[in-house]
Structure 1
C-alpha cells in the first residue's frame, strides 16, 4: 500500500479504498499485493520507468481510465510531460495512430485537470 500511495497519491488511494465493497474487496487486495507489492516495488526499474511503460501499455490497450490515472500519477513518479509525449509518439508507431490520438486527448485532459486541481 505504501508503494501504491507513493505512485497514485493519498487522495486517489483513499477515494478508491472508500469505494471497496464485499464484491470487489478480494480483487482490490489482489491488485494491491500483485501490482504494488510484487511488481512496482521491485528494484529493477525506477518508478519513472514503470510509469512510462504503464502509460504506453494503457494507451496501446485502450484502457482509458487507467491511462488518465497514470498520467496524473506522473507528478509522483517523476515522468515528465516531454517523456510522456515521446511515449505516446512511440505508441502511435507501434500500436496505431488511433490509439495514440485518443491517448493524447486523454493526456491533455489529465494534465489540464492537474493544472486546475493539483494532487
Structure 2
C-alpha cells in the first residue's frame, strides 16, 4: 500500500468511526473475511477517506444528503444505518424529514414513504435505547 493510500485509509477509518461509531466499525471489521477484505478497503478509502473526509460539506450535511440518496435509491439497510449515525453527525430529525421531502419530489412518493417508515422505526429504537440507558 502506498503512503497516499495508507493516509487515505487512516483518514477514512477515523471518519468512519466518527460517523458510524466504534461499535459499528468494530463489528464490520470483525466480520470481514478474505472475500470482502479488498472491498472493505475500497469503501474505507473511497467513501470515508475521500468523499466523507472532503472539507466543503460538514458531516451533518453529508449525513442528510446521504440519507436522501439512499432513500431515493431504495437502499434500506444502508438508510437505517445512516439514520442511526445522525446521533454522531449532528443531522437533526428535521434535517432528515426535509431531505425526505426532497426525495418525495425528485425520486417519488413511494420511495420517501418507505424511507419514512424506516426512519420512524430507527428513531423509535434509538429513543427506547436512550430511555433504557443502552447505546
Normalising by structure 1, report the TM-score: 0.97
**Secondary structure at 1:41 match in 2:** coil
**Partner of residue 51 from structure 2, selected from 39, 51, 60:** 39
Q: Which runs of 5+ in 2 are unaligned?
A: 1-12
Gaps of 5+ in 1: none
Distance in 1, matches of 2:32 and 2:115, equals: 28
1:106 to partner: Cα distance = 0.5
**For residues 89 and 105 of structure 2, what CA distance do their matches in structure 1 show?**
25
Q: SS of the counterpart of 1:73?
A: helix
Number of aligned residue pairs: give it.
119
* Alpha-carbon distance in 1 for matches of 2:96, 2:57: 17
Residue of structure 2 aligned with 1:89, choices 101, 112, 115: 101
Aligned with 1:53 (options 44, 62, 65): 65
Instruction: Flag as ranges the 4+ runs of structure 1 deviating above 3 A.
Output: none
Distance of 2:109 and 2:51 partners within structure 1:
29
Is 1:77 the counterpart of 2:80? The answer is no
1:116 and 1:15 mapped to 2: Cα distance?
22
Q: Which residue of 1 aligns with 2:3?
A: none
Structure 1 distance, partners of 2:94, 2:53, is 25
Q: 2:75 aligns with which of 48, 63, 70?
A: 63
Structure number with greater Rg is 2
Alignment-derived partner of residue 25 in structure 2: 13
Residues 68-112 of structure 1 show CA distances to partners (whole Å, capped at 9, x for unaligned) of 000000010000001111111111111001000000000011111
- Cα root mean square deviation, aligned: 0.8
Report the CA distance between 1:116 and its aligned residue. Answer: 2.1
Q: So what's the TM-score if we normalise by structure 2?
A: 0.86
How far, CA to CA, are the matches of 2:129 and 2:46 in structure 1? Answer: 30
